Each structure stands twice: as structure tokens, then as C-alpha cells.
Homo-oligomer: A and B are copies of this chain.
Amino acid sequence: MLKEVKIGIIGFGTVGAGVASCLLENAEVIARRTGLKPVLFRIADIDIATPRNIKVPDSILTQDAHSLISESDLVVELVGGTGCAKDFILAALKAGKPVVTANKALLAEHGEEIFYAAEKSKADIYYEASVAGGIPIIKVLREGLVGNRIEKILGIMNGTCNYILSRMSTDLLDFDTALSEAKRLGYAEANPSLDIDGIDTAHKAAILSSLAYGEWFGMKPIHVEGIRGIKNEDFKYSSELGYTIKLLAVIKQESDDVQIRVHPTLISSDSMLANVSGVFNAVMVKGSPVGETLYYGRGAGRDATASSVVADIVDVMLNLKFGSHRRVPAFKIGKQYRNLTPIQDIATRYYLRLQVLDRPGVIAKIAEILAGRGISLSSMIQREKQSAENVNLVVITHIAKEKDVMSAVLELETLDCVKDKLVLIRIEDI
């Protein structure tokens, strides 16, 4: 019986050091719980000279990832990105070695190829840390909720955006100030586009929706909007109306069709998701029969990510012990929906903010354009002069079709009495 499992880690960056540290510190606890001892056997990186503030013997460090693959029982890919990380994973799988990875971008963009390689070689590939950091959401979705039809997933899955939006909401900072602060604190990259333009959240949405609905979607069908357009006055108006604004991944099954989208979203201030602040992540999963459930924790960072990587390592170790490889396959095709709904065919409620001239007849004109497309209003705020003659007009609609709203927006923006671009934020009723 296999008692010790030799673990090779490729990538000795922040997360690599976190995983190594967790394996060293908690190996005893893991052994008591599982009867199996993870052994930190090799770590590969181009740079093996820089100290990492963690005590590993020099003898386990190597620059040769390919020897690491052939000598280890289990390969952990923590290089990140879609370049050589992919080569390492494919090489490991080809050699029949099980793989654990945290690489969301790679899976979202090349999941099919990687899972096909895993299936061919009958090797495990686990990727818990690729979505929502320390939250074991992939295990929950594939195992804990395996008996459910998934009706809806709403996820706050990018700590950078949630930090920025929380600061805008609580302290009414403007976007640029909040972003600068996030950079200073190390929560945002120098080039923050991947985060604030919603792409990172979309990577995670691609993975979760594929697991929920049995087809590997990739990035193509996902409608993605980031948070650059949100102003702090939008928080003020939302809050008055009982909402807050979050960057959400919205994954939904409606009349057997599935929609996947990422965009800033108004949600009720009373909801559990609204209370998720700072760099924390949370994923709400509504299933049948389970109803509404929610999972919350740190979505990134060395330690939270390490927790998920090590959980995967233990799953693979158990599979090695029992010969139960692919007990829960990396991805199982089995389509559980009818069609994908394009963004223009969704229907939801909308928050619209317009800067309009403060003149008689303006509201009537706007209401008429909306009514002409069957869009009815549930509330309206007009207050606070922005400049000499402009005022903000905020409108909340009842459920309306996206294409009707978009066509109304285009017409509204042509009006002389409407200044600047209109701000549109979709609403999710929880």
C-alpha cells in the first residue's frame, strides 16, 4: 500500500511557497486524517536562488521541470498563464502523472485539450484553486451538490474588483482613487485589466458553468463587462433604492436554456452577497432540491490558494492509494441544458442613470421612449444638479428584454436633452 506520495511543484512563486509551507507544516495533521503522508519531493523554478522565507532543503530545488515530472508521483503546476504551464501539464499527463493546478486562465481557454489529454492517459487533473481561492466551490458543485439541478450561480470571484467596489460603496471613493489604493496594497496588478475588465471573473465563470451544465463552454459564450464605468454616485443612488453594486458572474438556467454573463450588478443590500466586502469572494448556488446556498472565503493569496491546492493533492493521493483514478473525472461531458441564451435575448431588471437637462418635458420624453418599447418603470430618482443645467435621472425598470432596453438606450442617447453616455447596470433579484 502506497503510504508516502512524492509531490513535485513546478513554480516557486507566492502560491508555490504557500503550498510548500502548508505541506511542511500540516503533513502530520493530513497523515492523521487520511493515513497518507504528502512528501514535498521537488520544487522546480527558473529562479531557485531568491530566498522565499520558507525552509526547504536546497536539494529539492531544481530548474529542470521535466525531470521533476518523471520523478514525482504527483505534479503541481503553479506557474500560471497559458504558456509553458500548458506544456508542463500536458507532459505530466502524457507520462500518466496526476496533476493539480490553480490555473484558471489555462483551463478556461484550453480546458478541452487538457481534459482530453487527461482522459487519454487516465490520469487525474484537479483544479480546486482555479476558482474562488480557498473556497472549495468545485468540490461543492461536483460532489456536495451532485444530486441537484443547478438553477443559478452568482459569484463574487475577483477580490480586486470587490475591494474597489467596497471602498467606493462604503467610503464613496471614486474609481481611480480606489484602484490606486488597491494597487498600493498589492490587491491590484500594475496592469489591472485582467481583473477590472471582468476577464478573470469570466475565466472562473467558464469553469463553474461548464461543471454545472455538462459542456465545456470556454470564454466565447460569455458576455463580459468590467467595472470601469461605475461612478460613486451610482453607489449613492443604488443605496437609496436598497441596493449595492457588485461585479457578478451570473450563470442561470431559465426554461432549460443557460446564460453566462459577467457584469456589474445591482443586488439587494439585505442579501448575503451584498455583505461580502473587501477582497473576499463568495459564490451563491441555487439548486433543486437544495435551494439557496452560499460559500464565502478568501478568493486569492498565498494561503487561501494553498489550502485548495493541498485539498486536491490529498484527493489525488487517495485516488493513488485506492486505484480510483478519475473517480470524479476532471470534466464529464453530459449536456444538461437546451440552448445558450445570447445576451440580447436575456430579460432582467435594469438601473439606468442619465444626465439630462433640467427642463420641463424631459422626464415625459424619456418615459415615452421607454414605454414605447414596453419597458415599465418601478422607481425613479431625480436629484442633485451636476452642473449649471444638468441633473442625474435614475430609473429602475421592471423586467424587460435586453434588446428593447439597448434600443431605447441608443435612442435616448440621441436626444438633445440627454448629455454624456447613459450608465446601465443590470439588476439581479436574489
Tell me the A residues contacting B by CB distance below 8 Å: 18, 21-23, 25-26, 29-35, 128, 134-136, 139-140, 142-149, 214, 272, 275-276, 287-298, 302-304, 306-308, 310-311, 313-315, 318, 322-324, 327-328, 332, 334-336
A297 adjacent to B297 (CB under 8 Å): no
A327 contacts B332, CB within 8 Å? no
Q: Which residues of B contact A136 (CB under 8 A)?
A: 140, 143-145
What residues of B have a CB within 8 angstroms of the CB of A298 in the complex?
A: 290-293
- Contact residues in B for A34 (Cβ distance below 8 Å): 146, 328, 332
A297 and B294 contact, CB distance less than 8 A: yes
State whether B336 touches A22 (Cβ < 8 A): no
Show 11 residue pairs from A and B whose CB-CB distance is below 8 angstroms, ordered by the A residue.
Answer: A22-B289, A23-B147, A26-B148, A32-B214, A33-B146, A35-B332, A145-B307, A291-B303, A292-B298, A293-B298, A294-B297
B145 near A311 (CB under 8 angstroms)? yes
Report yes or no: A142 in contact with B293, Cβ–Cβ below 8 A: no
A311 to B294, CA, bound (A): 17
A272 partner residues in chain B, CB cutoff 8 A = 272, 275-276, 296
> Given the known A-B contacts A291-B297, A294-B295, A304-B290, are A33 and B140 also in contact in the complex, defined by CB atoms under 8 Å?
no
Quick one: copies of this chain in the complex? 2
Contacts of A324 in B (CB 8 A): 318, 322-324, 327
> Is A291 within 8 A of B304, CB to CB?
yes
Among B32, B140, B294, the residue within 8 A (CB) of A336 is B32
Asked if residues A318 and B307 are in contact (CB atoms below 8 Å), the reply is no
| Interface pair B307/A30, CB less than 8 Å apart | no
How far does the Cβ of A370 sit from chain B's closest Cβ, in whole Å? 34
Is there contact, CB below 8 Å, between A293 and B290? no
A292 to B278, CA, bound (A): 13
CB nearest neighbor in B for A301: B291
Q: A322-B322, A323-B322, A327-B322 are in contact. Are A148 and B307 (CB under 8 A)?
A: yes
Q: Which residues of B contact A313 (CB under 8 A)?
A: 147
Which residues of the other chain, B, contact A23 by a CB distance below 8 angstroms? 147
Q: Do residues A292 and B297 form an inter-chain contact, with CB atoms below 8 A?
A: yes
Contacts of A336 in B (CB 8 A): 29, 32
Q: Tell me which residues across on chain B come within 8 A of A18, comparing CB atoms.
A: 289
Which B residues touch A29, using CB under 8 A? 147-149, 336
Q: When the two chains form their complex, are residues B293 and A135 in contact, meaning their CB atoms are under 8 A apart? A: yes
B-side contacts of A308, CB under 8 Å: 144, 290
A289 close to B318 (CB less than 8 A): no
CB-defined contacts of A314 to chain B, threshold 8 Å:
143, 146-147
Chain B residues with CB under 8 Å of A328's CB are 34, 318
Contacts A31-B334, A145-B307 known; list 6 others, CB within 8 Å: A23-B147, A128-B144, A139-B144, A143-B315, A146-B311, A272-B272
Complex: how many Å from CA A332 to CA B323?
A: 20
B142 near A139 (CB under 8 angstroms)?
no
Closest chain B residue, CB of each to CB of A138: B144
**Please, how many angstroms separate the alpha-carbon atoms of A208 and B159 in the complex?**
29
What is the CB-to-nearest-CB distance from A54 to chain B, in angstroms, rounded to a whole number?
A: 12
Contacts of A293 in B (CB 8 A): 134-135, 295-298
Residue of B nearest to A135 (CB): B293
Question: Whose C-beta in chain B lies nearest to the C-beta of A274?
Answer: B275
CB-nearest residue of chain B to A284: B296
A298 to B289, CA, bound (A): 11
Residue on B nearest A298 in the bound complex, by CB: B291
